[in-house]
Amino acid sequence: MFGRPSKSSEESTSAVDQPATGKGHATPSRREAEAARKQRVKIPAKSNTKDGKKAAKERARAERERSRRGMMAGEERFMPPRDQGPVRAFARDFVDSRFTMAEYFILIAVGVLVLGFIPIQPLQFWVTVVFFAFAALLVIDTIIMVFMLNRMAAEKFPEAKDRKGLTLYAILRVMQLRRLRLPPPRVKRGGVPR
């Protein structure tokens, strides 16, 4: 106990005290590390060629065309996420089934802008009066439409979380010209929303 330790016990304690060093391989040089990284990220040689790039562009163009045709046909899987779901389809059909003044707002605003450059005071006065009257009617019409949409949507889709964002979605759609709306209208004016 108080004597000198034997050689075997010294060897065992020194082996235990020394931590294992090294990671089992040499550290690669910077050149080797960068070459390995580039090799992992390297684009396949087929895509790097002129023909490969041309084929990739053609595939992407064909995919975009297929998606556009699918959306124009009303296939939901080709629609953007904001347009998917039965609640959004109901809102689109509701808006498309109505005649609204809001869809002509852009045309009226451009007309007012053009007529504003004519330097005839009475004309500018009446253009301004007509524009503000139109804007007031547009706001009233949109409020009525939103009220009716929310009431019908609440009856058809009782969960409040399903109807989240429906009002803004309908207002943005009603502000577009009917011919330019995407996805295209499924119901005629005066028709019944599905």
Beta strands in the chain (DSSP E): none
User: Do residues 44 and 126 share a domain?
Assistant: no
Whether residue 139 is contained in a domain is answered as: yes
pLDDT at 173: 93
Are 142 and 100 in contact by the 8 Å Cβ rule? The answer is yes
Number of domains in the chain: 2
H/E stretch holding 174: helix 166-174
In a domain, 29, yes or no: no
pLDDT averages per 10-residue partition of the chain, 194 residues: 60 55 82 85 63 87 88 82 89 92 92 91 92 95 95 92 92 92 87 70
End residue of a domain, out of 19, 52, 78: 78
Residue-number span of the structural domain to which 54 is assigned: 40-78
Q: What is the pLDDT of residue 90?
A: 93
140 with 111, same domain: the answer is: yes
Angle at 162 between CA 149 and CA 89, to 5 degrees: 55
The answer on 138 and 161 residing in a single domain is yes
85/74 same-domain check:
no
Is residue 66 located within the same domain as residue 108?
A: no
Choosing from 59, 78, 97, the residue where a domain stops is: 78
Do 95 and 133 lie in one domain? The reply is yes
Q: pTM above 0.75?
A: no
Report the candidate in 100, 113, 83, 111 with the shortest Cα–Cα distance to residue 175.
100
- Examine the domain organization and report whether 63 and 124 are in the same domain: no
Please tell me whether residues 120 and 167 are part of one structural domain.
Answer: yes
> Minimal CA–CA distance to 162: which of 74, 91, 79?
91
